[in-house]
Amino acid sequence: MKDLEQSGAAQRRQRILERLTAAPHGEPISASVLAQEFSVSRQIIVGDIALLRSAGSEIDATPRGYVLRRPSADVGCVHTVVCCHTAEEMADELNTIVDFGCTVCDVAVEHPIYGILTGELRLSSRYDVEIFNQRVKEADALPLSVLTEGVHVHTIRSPSEEIYEKVCHALAEKGYLKV
């Protein structure tokens, strides 16, 4: 009986991987959606994702769900920027970046005890930023930057160097860019 359960779990994990691979344009799929599709609890899906990751699958958790990391030939350029602002200014900062067609890949802070703490974001549109901010409010959570008095680093994927420079200029004009 236990072997049958294990083979069913292995098949489910394979189907989860196939589902993430087939997601159009790398759209995130939430654990709740996967749980409903596979008729298991959300916690089972979280465990399955952890096992898939430990087996080498490059699955990222974003504010909107899980995505399979895909190599891209048209990556553009990737840079990091150091920013500083209040928690209330977070949405404006993120929208400033995505309005130029860039993706905010992550946020990182340097904690004096734990070192670098990074949170995956993958925000590419105002819609993504809105959903992210809703989740922050619903969870009554604070951004990582509160640990460092507002100072944080974003990895930004930009279509070109010219666009990246425009983003930096816009962030500097708003007083968010820390030089």
Would the pLDDT of 4 be above 50? no
- Percent of the chain past pLDDT 70, that is, above it, reads 93
The Cα diameter of the chain in Å comes to: 64
Determine the 3-state secondary structure of 71 from DSSP: coil
Q: Tally the C-alpha atoms within 13 A of residue 112's C-alpha that lie toward its C-beta.
A: 3
Name which of 83, 67, 59 is nearest 152 in CA terms. 83
Question: What number of other Cβ atoms are within 10 A of residue 103's Cβ?
Answer: 22
Residue 84 and residue 169 in one domain: yes
Token output for 110: 């340097």
Q: What torsion do the CA atoms of 77, 82, 88, 91 make, to the nearest 10 degrees?
A: 0
Would the pLDDT of 162 be above 80? yes
Residue 52 and residue 87 in one domain: no
CATH number at residue 60: 1.10.10.10
Domain that holds residue 57: 2-68
Q: Are 120 and 128 in contact (CB under 8 A)?
A: no
Q: How confident is the model at residue 41 (pLDDT cuts 50, 70, 90)?
A: very high
Q: Is 11 a member of any domain?
A: yes
Confidence (pLDDT) at 1: 47
Confidence (pLDDT) at 15: 94
- Check residues 23 and 164 and name the one with the higher pLDDT: 164
Would the pLDDT of 129 be above 70? yes
Q: How confident is the model at residue 5 (pLDDT cuts 50, 70, 90)?
A: low
Residue 51 and residue 111 in one domain: no
Q: Are 41 and 35 in contact (CB under 8 A)?
A: yes
Q: Is 178 a member of any domain?
A: no
Determine the 3-state secondary structure of 113 from DSSP: coil
The last residue of a domain, from among 46, 68, 90: 68
Using CB atoms within 10 A of its CB, is residue 140 exposed (0-12), middle (13-18) or buried (19+)? exposed
The secondary structure of residue 144, as a DSSP letter, is G
